[in-house]
């Protein structure tokens, strides 16, 4: 077990800047390193695009935890994924006010524009909620309330946030993803 | 009073305190802009006061938590035992995720230093040297803005060691969530901040003020609540308490979404206007040719009202005498106590409006899908029940409803509320219970 851990950890290529960020992040939790698990998972997902089994082991080693303590967070918190998303990951708000403003139609339209054929596999169940375009450029999923109910329907593309997204605006947004 | 130009003008009925700088022309989230506007003066004033006096001012102000439960903030702070020897932590709950609520987003994005100043004053009041802002994962830009604001405040000596020569040390860090609604529940939030799955803790014994973060006394307050602290210090608790109505003091930000002409945020004195004034005067009424049908007054877990519903509300006069008034939904003052007396709640201030074009089974199904997705899975009634409710409303909407589905739905909801560790059980049952009691006819289909 220890051997595999060491081996897989060695296979992770972690750049020095990321190591520095990790160290700085862990220092924010002087009482318990375990508190840094979620922030470290964010750093890994931002850098690698998803959370691999090697990442889980690396984080566990760094924080002196068992890998299951890390994996259980990956499977609990909807934002973490164990497979890569597209280069442009689209999150459409599914919840009531946005749905009344047309978010189901918006999701279909965004998927069509992004060349994602089967957008329906993303129905909220955890684990495999993301649909991807064949070229890997786009992926899409429904997410729950993005807290901008007054300007629905809303969506996010990676970290960027878009409000009152009409079909015309959707086309503009997708075209700007280069 | 300084003349403020807004890019989006507040309605004349608004009283902007917390949102004073939102949509303001010539405003940006930098510390220079904030300082030029008198920023951090209240922090300086707070350091001339005793910590216990700040707590007393907040108690006098009558400030009630703006996150959902409406609990008196000063009383919450007072729960830390005076003989406590453990470290105290303060957590800002910025996990804004109750459907229908969208106020903290604007504070974080446009006026982050207001929040930081409120937090530092609050930390001083409760003697917390370490504080975290738990911000929902879906606000990456907000987290970035807060990080920047913290660095600016630190560079100016408002955070860190010996703040403004007061001898008080304080650090604030941003902690990002990762898409789980349950982290808005304060004990779930604490578990999450400890690096665990966000399973809420049972109360008693795990009241955060006694056994919170790392089993130490912890104060968890909403973003808007912490911002109010700054203004209570500025005005004094007694002066602040004159805003709003007795026991429902101050201003609060009402977020209106759904079927109105002008959805958006409106900061008003608590109880200063009725539901009808809010929806018709501020929000411009229903869309052309439509009529209001249903209103959820305080976030999606609040019980729904029919637009034609009438209530007998007991009110207490200034002399303490009880009287009963009959009021329609549109006559209800938008305060904590009246909405509770009408059988729902002011909750998080998120008002969701449905007009006569809406199918209430479809609406409830959307809400049920939310709760089914967000149940943390710790308690069986909630984990299983929220999913069953979703499945039942799913089949009603798809036309495959069974004759007794309405009754089954009600029985599932009745077996969740009150049988779980945290209030999510109520939050997910109340929509189903209230939709069924008020719109039952829409759930019985052939």
Beta bridge partners of B313: B325
Give pLDDT tens digits for B372-399: 999 999 999 999 999 999 999 999 999 9
Confidence of residue A120 (pLDDT cuts 50, 70, 90): low
Residue B433 and residue B410 in contact, taking contact as beta carbons nearer than 8 Å = yes
**Domain of A65, in residue numbers:** 2-76
Q: What is the DSSP string of B186-233?
A: HHHHHHHHTTS--PPPPTTT--HHHH-GGGS-EEEEEHHHHHHHHHHH
| Chain A interface mutation, best of B67, B89, B99, highest count of A Cβ atoms under 10 Å | B99
Closest chain A CA to residue B357: A100
For residue B179, the chain A residues in CB contact (below 8 A) are: 77-79, 143-144
Fold classification of B360-443 (topology level): de novo design (two linked rop proteins) (1.20.1440)
Among B173, B198, B370, select the one facing A144 at the smallest CB separation. Answer: B370
For residue A161, the chain B residues in CB contact (below 8 A) are: 141
- Same domain? For A92 and A134 the reply is yes
Separation CA A114–CA A109 (nearest Å): 8
- Same domain? For A98 and A156 the reply is yes
- Same domain? For A67 and A95 the reply is no
State the architecture of B247-355 in CATH terms: Roll (3.10)
Matching CATH topology for B31-242 and B360-443? no
Closest chain A CA to residue B193: A35
Closest chain A CA to residue B257: A150
Residues 78-97 of A with CB under 8 A from B: 78-80, 91, 94-97
- Where residue A134 sits, what CATH number does that domain have? 3.40.30.10
Closest chain A CA to residue B199: A76
Closest chain A CA to residue B135: A39
Residue A142 has phi, psi (to 5 degrees) of -85, 140
Interchain pair A95, B141: CB under 8 A = no
- Same domain? For A41 and A97 the reply is no
- Same domain? For A92 and A171 the reply is yes
Domain count, chain A: 2
Terminal-residue alpha carbon distance, chain B: 63
- Same domain? For A170 and A94 the reply is yes
Select B31-242's CATH number: 3.40.50.10420, 3.40.50.2300, 3.40.50.620, 3.40.50.11540.
3.40.50.11540
- Where residue A31 sits, what CATH number does that domain have? 1.10.10
Closest-CA residue to B376 (of B317, B420, B344)? B420
Position A83 in a domain: no
Separation CA A93–CA A163 (nearest Å): 10
Interchain pair A143, B138: CB under 8 A = yes
- Same domain? For A113 and A72 the reply is no
- Same domain? For A100 and A170 the reply is yes
pLDDT at B3: 77
How close is the nearest chain A Cα to the Cα of B239, in Å?
Answer: 32
- Same domain? For A70 and A97 the reply is no
- Same domain? For A65 and A92 the reply is no
Of A28, A52, A76, the residue that ends a domain is: A76
Query: How far does CA B46 lie from the centroid of its chain?
Result: 25
Q: Is A21 on the interface with B (CB under 8 A)?
A: no
Of A28, A55, A76, the residue that ends a domain is: A76
Confidence of residue A119 (pLDDT cuts 50, 70, 90): low
Handedness of CA B356, B301, B369, B393 (dihedral sign): negative
- Same domain? For A106 and A128 the reply is yes
Domain ranges across chain B: 31-242, 247-355, 360-443
Closest chain B CA to residue A27: B173
Interchain pair A38, B192: CB under 8 A = yes
Spell out, as residue ranges, where chain B has pLDDT lower than 50: 1
Interchain pair A150, B264: CB under 8 A = yes
For residue B213, the chain A residues in CB contact (below 8 A) are: 31
Interchain pair A152, B257: CB under 8 A = yes
pLDDT at A10: 52
Of A76, A100, A115, the residue that ends a domain is: A76
Interchain pair B179, A143: CB under 8 A = yes
The residue-averaged pLDDT of A148-177 equals 96
Handedness of CA B386, B389, B393, B398 (dihedral sign): positive
Closest chain A CA to residue B259: A100
Burial label for A125, CB within 10 Å (0-12, 13-18, 19+), is exposed
- Same domain? For A109 and A65 the reply is no
For residue B104, the chain A residues in CB contact (below 8 A) are: 147
> What count of other Cβ atoms lies within 10 Å of the Cβ of residue B25?
9
Give pLDDT tens digits for A9-36: 556 889 999 999 999 999 999 999 999 9
For residue A32, the chain B residues in CB contact (below 8 A) are: 194-195, 214
Position A81 in a domain: no
For residue B97, the chain A residues in CB contact (below 8 A) are: 144-145, 147
How close is the nearest chain A Cα to the Cα of B293, in Å?
Answer: 14
């Amino acid at each position: 077990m220890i051997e595999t851990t060491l081996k897989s950890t060695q296979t992770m290529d972690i750049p020095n800047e990321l190591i520095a960020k990790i160290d700085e992040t862990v220092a924010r939790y002087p009482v318990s390193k375990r508190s840094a698990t979620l922030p470290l998972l964010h750093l890994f997902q931002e850098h690698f695009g998803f959370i691999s089994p090697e990442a889980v082991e690396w984080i566990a080693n760094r924080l002196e935890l068992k890998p299951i303590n890390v994996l259980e967070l990956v499977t609990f918190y909807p934002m973490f994924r164990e497979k890569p998303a597209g280069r442009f990951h689209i999150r459409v708000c599914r919840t009531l006010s946005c749905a009344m403003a047309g978010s189901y139609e918006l999701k279909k339209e965004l998927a069509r524009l992004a060349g994602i054929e089967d957008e329906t596999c993303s129905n909220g169940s955890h684990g495999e909620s993301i649909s991807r375009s064949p070229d890997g450029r786009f992926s899409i999923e429904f997410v729950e309330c993005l807290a901008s109910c007054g300007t629905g329907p809303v969506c996010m593309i990676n970290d960027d946030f878009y409000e009152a997204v009409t079909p015309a605006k959707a086309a503009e947004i997708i075209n700007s993803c280069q | 009073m300084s003349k403020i130009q807004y890019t989006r003008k507040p309605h004349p009925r608004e009283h902007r305190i917390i949102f004073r700088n939102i949509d303001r022309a010539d405003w940006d989230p930098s510390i220079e802009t904030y300082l030029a506007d008198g920023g951090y003066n209240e922090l300086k004033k707070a350091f001339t006061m005793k910590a216990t006096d700040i707590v007393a001012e907040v108690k006098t102000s009558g400030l009630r938590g703006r996150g959902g439960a409406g609990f008196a903030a000063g009383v919450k702070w007072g729960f830390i035992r005076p003989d406590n020897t453990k470290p105290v932590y303060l957590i800002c709950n910025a996990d804004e995720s109750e459907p229908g609520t969208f106020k903290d987003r604007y504070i974080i994005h446009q006026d982050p230093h207001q929040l930081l100043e409120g937090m530092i004053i609050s930390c001083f009041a409760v003697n917390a040297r370490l504080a975290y802002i738990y911000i929902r994962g879906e606000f990456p830009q907000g987290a970035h803005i807060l990080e920047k604001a913290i660095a600016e405040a630190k560079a100016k000596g408002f955070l860190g060691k010996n703040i403004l020569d007061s001898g008080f040390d304080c650090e604030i860090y941003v902690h990002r969530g990762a898409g789980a609604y349950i982290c808005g529940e304060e004990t779930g939030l604490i578990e999450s901040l400890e690096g665990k799955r966000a399973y809420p803790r049972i109360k008693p014994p795990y009241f955060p003020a006694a056994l919170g973060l790392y089993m130490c006394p912890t104060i968890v307050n909403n973003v808007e609540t912490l911002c109010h602290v700054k203004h209570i210090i500025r005005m004094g608790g007694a002066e602040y308490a004159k805003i709003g109505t007795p026991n429902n003091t101050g201003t609060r930000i009402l977020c209106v979404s759904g079927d109105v002409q002008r959805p958006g945020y409106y900061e008003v004195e608590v109880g200063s206007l009725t539901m009808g004034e809010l929806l018709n005067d501020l929000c411009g009424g229903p869309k052309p040719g439509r009529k209001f049908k249903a209103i959820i007054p305080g976030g999606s877990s609040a019980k729904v009202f029919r637009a034609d519903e009438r209530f007998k509300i007991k009110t207490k006069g200034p002399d303490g005498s009880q009287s009963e008034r009959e009021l329609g939904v549109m006559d209800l003052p938008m305060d904590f106590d009246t909405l509770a007396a009408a059988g729902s709640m002011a909750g998080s201030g998120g008002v969701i409006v449905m007009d006569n074009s809406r199918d209430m089974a479809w609406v409830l199904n959307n809400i049920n899908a939310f709760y089914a997705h967000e149940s943390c899975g710790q308690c069986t009634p909630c984990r299983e029940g929220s999913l069953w409710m979703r499945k039942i409303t799913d089949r009603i909407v798809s036309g495959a409803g069974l004759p007794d589905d309405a009754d089954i739905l009600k029985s599932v909801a009745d077996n969740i509320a009150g049988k779980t560790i945290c209030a999510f059980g109520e939050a997910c049952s109340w929509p189903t219970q209230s939709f069924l009691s008020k719109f039952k006819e829409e759930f019985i289909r052939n």
